[in-house]
Structure 1
Amino acid sequence: MKTKIFLGCIMAASLITVSCSDLLQENPQGKLTPEGYFSTQEELDMSVYSLYSKVNYSQTRTNPQYPQWQGDDITTNPGSNKQAAAEIDRFAPVNSNKGVKDCWSDHYAIIKAANFIIQNASKTPTDAASLNQAIGQAKFWRAYAYFTLVRLFGDIPLTLTNENDDFTMKPSSVEQVYEQIVADLTSDECEGLPASYKNAPAFLNGVNVYVTKQAVEATRAAVYMAMAGWPLGKGTAYYKKAADEAKKVIEGERNGIYDIRMDENFYDVYAMSNNYNKETILGINYSPNVDWVQDSQLTSCDQFESLGGWGDAWGEIRFWQKFPEGPRKDATYDPQILKPNKDGNGYELHNWYDKSEDGWVIPECHPMFSVFSVNWEPSTKTNIDAPYDYTLPASQNMCNGHRHRLIRYAEVKLWYAEAAARAGESDLSLAKQCLKDVRKRGMVGDTYGTKEKTYEDDGKWQVINGVNIDAMNASQLAEAALEGHGWEVAGYWVAMVTRRADQFRMKLLQKTFEERQGNPEIEIVPGVKVKEGVEVSGSWNDKMVYMPYPDTDSAKNPNL
């Protein structure tokens, strides 16, 4: 109930999307405006609710996340109504692509709402703690929005004032944008955010809804890692900064300062029955049945269209094949796919690559993600509050209250392991332990290596030339942690650092383009070969990793 009340307050604030160059070209009627506002604590609170409504809206649906389809974990239907996703999957989005446009406008709406608070909140007659908390939330989410945009668009307009530029603003360089991101995240207001809150709406359902100190530190670790890699290439010094920030979170948990912990079982990581968990360091709260624009609309997006779902994201075959066996893989994809039988009186389980005399049993013929899936009771269409079970019918409801896990503690441990190794730290014992902590929950065995198919063992994939974690050198540890993070967030496109983001930082997206372009048949089991459906063509250039500026802005602003 408290969550519903909070989101109801959010909806009372305006829900708008704007272009970056159209920041003041609106009819202010019914919306928050600086004149005469911030005269009470209630009005300050409402400005923060309005900010959070923009944050929520940026992830309610798949459109703004389509740029993550460049990653080698996700592909999509080459037909149907998935062309916006397929364009990005083939590294060829046009400037009218709805994913490009929504990503741009939704994140600039966050920036606008944050700027409104940062510029005007000091007028409020309130105590310093309340004021700093509001401005800290605003600076954090502004940094978050710019961090998202700069990794997807490159040079972008950097607006901090909401002043009307009449579509003349020039893009700032990637480095300038990162400088602002760091300035926001290291500001006194962000530094002063607490480790925990006590009262609603900052604290609900046993977890922190508002940004905490540990969330800021974890985000700084992610930002410094991004700056260490491509395109800025700041290298060792920034990996050291990232390791230091991640270590603060780890030590805070170990010392009992931060109330965070990893879930024991991976099947609980995304479960609705574990929605308000202590592994999530930074989350976005949603509540079902308040209003569809404030619910998470991702319930059925992983379920294939042939099964009644949306089918936006399919598991890319090569990534699935290399994914280490174990609880993490079984909770990331449906190990088998439940399909109604021909007479309509029950269900049958099939491998996604099973064939019949009529062709593929599952028409999509791809691994099916389950990270957003929940079960339901088909007769009542009521979602079941339990870890997802692939042997039971999957819900086809559009919305639920799934709390989006932007940063999880397991990710911070992997970031520390990789950053410490790349920073050249002499003592990697904690880094190796972090990798083992995450691996223990998700995988079988304790050896990393190259996964190859050995026909001497019935065509199964096995690790060869493996190395035990304790025996790893720094380079091996860094690569194992990087790879492990890819498995950890596979298919979870709402994460702050997705598989696509990792590949972008390490300049690996070209490899994915070339693999998709070659598109060889892949043998799944002896005698069964499959290939991807999205056709990729053209010659590579580094600009292909970036989205085009949306036509809504580029048509008006000659600098775009």
Structure 2
Amino acid sequence: MKTRYSITVALFLAATVFSCKKQLVENPKGNLTPVNYLKTQADLDAAVASIYAKYAVDGAYAFTNKSTSYFGADDLTTDPGLNKGDMRAFDQLNGSSTNTSMLAQWNGPWTAIYQANNVITNYAQVNSTDDLKRKAAGQAYFLRAWGYYNLVRTFGGVPLVDKLISVNDRPPRASVNDIYNLIVSDLKIAKSWLPVNYGDTKQIGRANQMAARAMLADVYLTMAGWPLKQTANYALAASEADTVIRNGSYNLVSSYASVFTTNNNSESIFGLQFNVGGGSPNRTYGASSVPLDEVAADGSSGWDDYYPEINFFLNAPKCDRTDATFYTTLKLRQGSGSNITFKLVPWNSSETHAGHPYYKKFRAALGDGVVETATTLQSINPSTNKTTDIIRYPLVLLDYAEAQAMSSGGPSAAAYSAINQVRTRAGLPNLQPGLSATDFQKAVVNERAYEFAGEFGIRWFDIVRLQLLPEVIAARASNENPINFTGDITQRYLAPIPQNDMYINSSWTQNPGY
């Protein structure tokens, strides 16, 4: 049985190894902490490593449940039956506060935020140089900001806990604006304290200055949309993204498919690291995105957790990226023993139970997910060493393109260049020149939908900040899981606060509609 955490419960002792190459080995002293254990730089580094580790577990961002409430987007749907009820409820826009899978989206960030607060509160007392201490604390500020960024976009106003608190404390829910102010403040500190790069392969996986700037650009872009609608932030988003672009540290991988079969490649700005051998597997790829109909020669099978909606797939541009993204020919095992063969059928064949295409890009991982040829399946593994990329360079390019156009009343040549870099890699022609700011924004948002299809929350957060649910619902095919909500659709942009936390914190008010 997995332990559940509320924001008022003390931190648990993590036992995972963070890095897929064991660069960031966690020291248990980093968790036990405050004053007594943070004495040396090694103690401080261990405490920082444990923040990363708290994000990289099933109870946070290591499993499909990290996206439970984002299934309202058109790039994610799930089986009409099986054991997918938690994700299916949000796919039908009818999730509830008692949804158990959603707890990963709530508890995961809080455990990381608490550990970040420990580092931020105590780093100054460590016996080390100011430079090394600031590099460590800068990562804590970055990781706290990321946790709050995910919380506020998912749940709206949440408690603002920026220091160590007692397990008996019951902080109120802060306003969305106050949470964003903390996020911006944290990222400004992170970008000023972190190096542009560490110049050491042993530091792979650690957030750097460019990661902080890239995230800050995305934060400003989000603040320009719903619910804050602070449109002056478009210019700030463009400036931060432009700084990352001009820095020149990152470039697009030539082949879109190879982005998902390599770790920490040239376009990965920040990603969560995993290590199957160290007890920290990534279970978002491999079996999770494989159809139940597929059974490999060794008897392993798909989990059928998620796949795209039909019309999202059908509306995808015809290009190499689309071919690399979607899995459209299923392999159905025939025979047994030494006589096993595989029948190839299209995604919409009556021989498939779901009648949907799946995601190809999440199958192979590092060769440790689905092991297959064009006509056979050898094995289907649920645990992989694949990094979950949180910020890829194309996100910076597209954030810049949209933010520049919206801040200046129309796209510049640089904005066209940014989006066209992404389109060229995808195998698409350059975007038509002469678009208005609004039409250009729509083109960028559509580009982002397919560049990041199925990736952690990106499509859903675009739908939320631009309030696109009505048009997403209108485009939904009739044979998808039926929408099971008839109230005010604007009440579905936020997920409900988990019920157990509502019980513990009696002064809180639940999000409208739940």
Under a length normalisation based on structure 1, what TM-score does the superposition of the two structures give?
0.81
Q: 1:548 aligns with which of 475, 490, 496?
A: 496
Query: Equivalents in 1 of 2:85, 2:236: separation in Å?
Result: 40
Aligned positions of 1:408-557 closer than 5 A: 408-424=392-408, 428-446=412-430, 468-493=431-456, 498-513=458-473, 515-516=475-476, 519-520=477-478, 531-557=479-505
What is the identity, as a one-letter code, of the residue corresponding to 1:546? L
Contact 2:285/2:383 (<8 A) preserved: yes
Matched residue of 1:300: which SS?
Answer: helix
Deviations 1:66-113, CA, capped at 9 Å, x for gaps: 122121111101211000000111111121212221210011011001
Query: Equivalents in 2 of 1:75, 1:488: separation in Å?
Result: 18
**Greater CA drift, 280-289 or 113-122:** 280-289
Q: Corresponding residue for 1:306?
A: 293
Closer, same or farther: CA 90–515 of 1 in aligned 2, 3 Å? farther
Percent identity between the two aligned chains: 27
State the Cα RMSD in Å.
Answer: 2.5
Q: Corresponding residue for 1:287?
A: 275
Q: Corresponding residue for 1:212?
A: 208
Aligned positions of 1:194-343 closer than 5 A: 194-199=195-200, 201-203=202-204, 209-235=205-231, 237-253=232-248, 258=249, 260-271=250-261, 274-291=262-279, 293-296=280-283, 298-307=285-294, 308-341=301-334
Matched residue of 1:70: which SS?
Answer: coil
Matched residue of 1:186: which SS?
Answer: helix
Closer, same or farther: CA 375–477 of 1 in aligned 2, 3 Å? closer
Deviations 1:438-494, CA, capped at 9 Å, x for gaps: 111214444xxxxxxxxxxxxxxxxxxxxx52233333222111110011111122x
Shift of 1:34: 1.3
Query: Equivalents in 1 of 2:168, 2:460: separation in Å?
Result: 34
Aligned positions of 1:55-454 closer than 5 A: 55-57=55-57, 58-164=60-166, 166=168, 168-187=170-189, 189-199=190-200, 201-203=202-204, 209-235=205-231, 237-253=232-248, 258=249, 260-271=250-261, 274-291=262-279, 293-296=280-283, 298-307=285-294, 308-341=301-334, 345-354=340-349, 360-374=350-364, 391-393=375-377, 395-424=379-408, 428-446=412-430
Contact 2:289/2:303 (<8 A) preserved: yes
Contact 1:299/1:400 (<8 A) preserved: yes
Contact 2:69/2:495 (<8 A) preserved: yes
Query: Equivalents in 1 of 2:230, 2:379: separation in Å?
Result: 46
Matched residue of 2:380: which SS?
Answer: coil
Shift of 1:384: 7.7
Matched residue of 1:160: which SS?
Answer: coil
Matched residue of 1:314: which SS?
Answer: coil
Segments of structure 2 that go 5 or more residues without pairing to the other structure are 14-27, 295-300, 509-514
Shift of 1:394: 6.8
Deviations 1:236-277, CA, capped at 9 Å, x for gaps: x11111111111111111xxxx2x110111111211xx2231
Contact 1:375/1:393 (<8 A) preserved: no
Closer, same or farther: CA 490–376 of 1 in aligned 2, 3 Å? closer
Shift of 1:64: 2.2
Q: Corresponding residue for 1:457?
A: none
Closer, same or farther: CA 434–399 of 1 in aligned 2, 3 Å? same
Query: Equivalents in 2 of 1:492, 1:398: separation in Å?
Result: 17
What is the identity, as a one-letter code, of the residue corresponding to 2:257? Y
Query: Equivalents in 2 of 1:368, 1:550: separation in Å?
Result: 30
Query: Equivalents in 1 of 2:407, 2:502: separation in Å?
Result: 40
Deviations 1:18-44, CA, capped at 9 Å, x for gaps: 321234799xx9841213121112111
Instruction: State the number of aligned residues.
Output: 483
Q: Corresponding residue for 1:47?
A: 47
Contact 1:414/1:481 (<8 A) preserved: yes
Deviations 1:205-250, CA, capped at 9 Å, x for gaps: xxxx110111111101100000000010011x11111111111111
Contact 2:326/2:359 (<8 A) preserved: yes
What is the identity, as a one-letter code, of the residue corresponding to 1:301? S
**Greater CA drift, 53-62 or 468-477:** 468-477
Shift of 1:349: 2.1
Shift of 1:176: 0.6
Deviations 1:373-427, CA, capped at 9 Å, x for gaps: 11899xxxx7689xx8665527411111101111111111111111111111666
Q: Corresponding residue for 2:21?
A: none
Segments of structure 1 that go 5 or more residues without pairing to the other structure are 1-14, 204-208, 355-359, 447-467, 521-530
Closer, same or farther: CA 553–537 of 1 in aligned 2, 3 Å? closer
**Greater CA drift, 340-349 or 301-310:** 340-349
Contact 1:91/1:545 (<8 A) preserved: no
Closer, same or farther: CA 345–391 of 1 in aligned 2, 3 Å? closer
Closer, same or farther: CA 71–296 of 1 in aligned 2, 3 Å? same
Query: Equivalents in 2 of 1:553, 1:246: separation in Å?
Result: 37
Contact 2:365/2:385 (<8 A) preserved: no
Shift of 1:290: 1.7
